[in-house]
């Protein structure tokens, strides 16, 4: 065990290599591949393959001086490590030489890090490291103390490139040219989420107007989806905004969304009846109630109170001075997204473990909400997390969310039918009453089947979600 004393500089390009070779400097080149199986603020575990041997390195500390322990390992251990690798593997060409009698190397990165070039210089003592002056021929910026230029952070976050400005992204949204990949891992969480909120808000405004003009059910659905996405992110992203502001808008979006629930439930029920013989007996009653809800929603969406609420929200989104920031607003987008996903996964695992055959449907519905929140988080950040384990968990979680969603729909449809039974005008329609009873039996059977399927699949899902915790933990800062 020893200590590594090293200074790191970022070079503009690899052109310095040609100059060094022209000057007759002896360079040795090796192709390296390295992976990390542990990354924490004060410790990393790295495996490096140089074509000849595989070395496992444990480093402790940060900055100029770090404790280092190295050992050569067999290929079998390396193969196992690859399955547990965090982030992406790093590939680079290393050109080694002596610089002012110190060991030095220039690393030229490949794949997603292509174009990134570092000069690293090793020293026997701290005093020599501090006294070192980089020759003028090396046009470089020192990054020794910048954690995001460490190889471990590069594996997790990628190249720390300057993100696009929020105003540029807002313009792309307005021109319908925005893509989620425009938000990179290193963008501040405050700017990234404001961009997402502006995207959702633009969709809210567009679909609201379309619904008012056409009463189109899909427009209402998209209006509700973007309301839910906004509220979900406000709920699950920790300390992004000032707590009082967060609560104000969580409550406001909840009230607004809840007033659209009845219309949505009737729309879903109508679709459910499309291929059912009972439709002919119930269609009139459903259509009558849907028409009433259209009137209620039109009044709500054109009210001064709704306009005022959305104007306040737009002011928060367009906060160029950072007035509404919370404690975590300055974190990198990927870090805060990972923290939020971890919170949701841990909440899901805890609630799934308590779920059993005796659980009330209310508990199933609460888990459905957790799945929906996780889904929205993954939609905005999936492009940043490329591991196979996470992708498999995402796929499985989406399937489960659909099951929970269908279960809730059937429960709501059962309530709608029971409400119909209590309507005096419907009780006189013998055929309609018989159709309701038949549907209730059918829906009860479907509810039982859905609950059984969910309980059968929950153990495997919990296992997949637990794997994701280990993948996401290193992103905590």
- pLDDT in single tens digits along all 477 residues of the chain: 678 999 999 999 999 999 888 888 889 999 999 999 999 888 999 999 998 999 999 999 888 889 999 999 999 999 999 988 888 899 999 999 999 999 999 999 999 899 999 999 999 999 999 999 999 888 899 999 998 999 999 999 998 888 999 999 999 999 999 999 999 999 999 999 999 999 999 999 999 999 999 988 889 889 999 999 999 999 999 999 999 999 999 999 999 988 887 666 666 666 666 666 555 455 555 665 666 677 888 888 999 999 999 999 999 999 999 999 999 999 999 999 999 999 999 999 999 999 999 999 999 999 999 988 998 998 898 888 867 777 777 788 788 889 998 998 888 888 877 776 666 666 666 777 777 788 888 889 999 999 999 999 999 889 888 888 888 888 876
Q: Taking the model in full, what pTM does it have?
A: 0.86
DSSP state of 66: E
Q: Does residue 179 sit within a domain?
A: no
In this structure, the answer to whether residues 261 and 351 fall within a common structural domain is no
**HSE value, Cβ hemisphere, 13 Å, CA-based, for 213:** 7
In this structure, the answer to whether residues 430 and 343 fall within a common structural domain is yes
Q: Are 286 and 270 in contact (CB under 8 A)?
A: yes
DSSP-derived pairing of the beta strands 102-109 and 90-99: antiparallel
In this structure, the answer to whether residues 396 and 436 fall within a common structural domain is yes
CATH number at residue 300: 1.40.20.10
Q: Does residue 171 sit within a domain?
A: no
In this structure, the answer to whether residues 218 and 321 fall within a common structural domain is yes
Q: How far is CA 157 from CA 16, 46, 73, 182, 476, in A?
A: 27, 16, 27, 15, 12
In this structure, the answer to whether residues 306 and 337 fall within a common structural domain is no
Q: Does residue 73 sit within a domain?
A: yes
Can you tell me which residue has the tokens 């291929």? 275
For the chain, what is the domain count?
A: 3
Q: Which domain holds residue 143?
A: 2-157
Distance CA 55, CA 53 (A): 7
By the 10 Å C-beta count (0-12 exposed, 13-18 middle, 19+ buried), 462 is classed as middle
In this structure, the answer to whether residues 434 and 318 fall within a common structural domain is no
Q: Does residue 93 sit within a domain?
A: yes
In this structure, the answer to whether residues 408 and 297 fall within a common structural domain is no
Q: Cα torsion for 155, 156, 162, 166, to the nearest 10°?
A: 160
CATH number at residue 107: 2.40.320.10
In this structure, the answer to whether residues 279 and 253 fall within a common structural domain is yes
Q: Does residue 182 sit within a domain?
A: no
Q: Does residue 399 sit within a domain?
A: yes
In this structure, the answer to whether residues 366 and 316 fall within a common structural domain is no
In this structure, the answer to whether residues 144 and 210 fall within a common structural domain is no
In this structure, the answer to whether residues 359 and 287 fall within a common structural domain is no
Helix (H), strand (E) at residue 58: strand 54-60
Q: Does residue 165 sit within a domain?
A: no
């Amino acid at each position: 065990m020893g200590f590594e004393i090293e200074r790191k500089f970022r070079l503009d390009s690899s052109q310095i290599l040609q100059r060094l070779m022209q000057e007759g400097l002896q360079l040795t080149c090796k192709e390296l591949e390295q992976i990390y199986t542990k990354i924490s603020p004060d410790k990393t575990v790295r495996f490096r393959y140089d074509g000849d041997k595989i070395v496992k390195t444990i480093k402790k500390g940060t900055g100029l001086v770090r404790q280092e322990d190295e050992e050569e390992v067999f290929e079998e251990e390396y193969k196992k490590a690859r399955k547990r690798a965090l982030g992406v593997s790093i590939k680079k060409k290393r050109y080694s030489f002596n610089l002012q009698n110190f060991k030095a190397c220039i690393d030229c990165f490949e794949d997603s890090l292509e174009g990134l070039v570092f000069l690293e210089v090793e020293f026997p003592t701290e005093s020599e490291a501090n006294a070192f002056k980089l020759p003028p021929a090396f046009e470089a910026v020192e990054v020794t103390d910048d954690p995001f230029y460490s190889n471990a952070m590069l594996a997790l976050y990628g190249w720390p490139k300057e993100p696009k400005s929020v105003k540029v992204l807002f313009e792309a949204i307005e021109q319908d040219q925005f893509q989620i990949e425009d938000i990179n891992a290193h963008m501040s969480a405050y700017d990234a989420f404001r961009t997402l909120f502006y995207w959702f808000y633009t969709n809210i405004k567009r679909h609201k107007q379309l619904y008012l003009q056409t009463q189109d059910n899909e427009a209402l659905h998209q209006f509700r989806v973007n309301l839910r996405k906004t509220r979900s992110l406000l709920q699950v992203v920790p300390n992004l905004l000032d707590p009082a502001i967060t609560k104000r808008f969580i409550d406001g979006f909840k009230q607004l969304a809840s007033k659209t629930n009845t219309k949505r439930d009737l729309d879903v029920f109508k679709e459910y009846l499309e291929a059912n013989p009972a439709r002919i007996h119930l269609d009139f009653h459903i259509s009558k109630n849907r028409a009433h809800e259209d009137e209620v929603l039109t009044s709500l969406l054109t009210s001064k109170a709704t306009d005022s609420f959305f104007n306040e929200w737009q002011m928060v989104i367009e906060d160029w001075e950072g007035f509404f920031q919370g404690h975590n607003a300055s974190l990198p987008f990927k870090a805060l997204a990972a923290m939020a996903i971890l919170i949701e996964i841990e909440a899901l695992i805890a609630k799934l473990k308590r779920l059993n055959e005796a659980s009330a449907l209310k508990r199933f519905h609460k888990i459905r909400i957790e799945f929906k929140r996780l889904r929205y988080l993954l939609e905005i950040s999936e492009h940043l997390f490329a591991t196979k384990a996470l992708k498999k968990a995402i796929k499985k979680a989406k399937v489960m969310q659909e099951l929970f969603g269908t279960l809730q729909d059937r429960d709501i449809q059962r309530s709608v039918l029971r409400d119909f039974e209590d309507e005096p005008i419907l009780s006189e329609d013998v055929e309609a009453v018989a159709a309701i009873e038949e549907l209730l039996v059918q829906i009860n059977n479907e509810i039982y089947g859905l609950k059984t399927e969910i309980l059968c699949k929950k153990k495997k899902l919990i296992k997949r979600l637990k794997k994701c915790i280990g993948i996401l933990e290193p992103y905590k800062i």
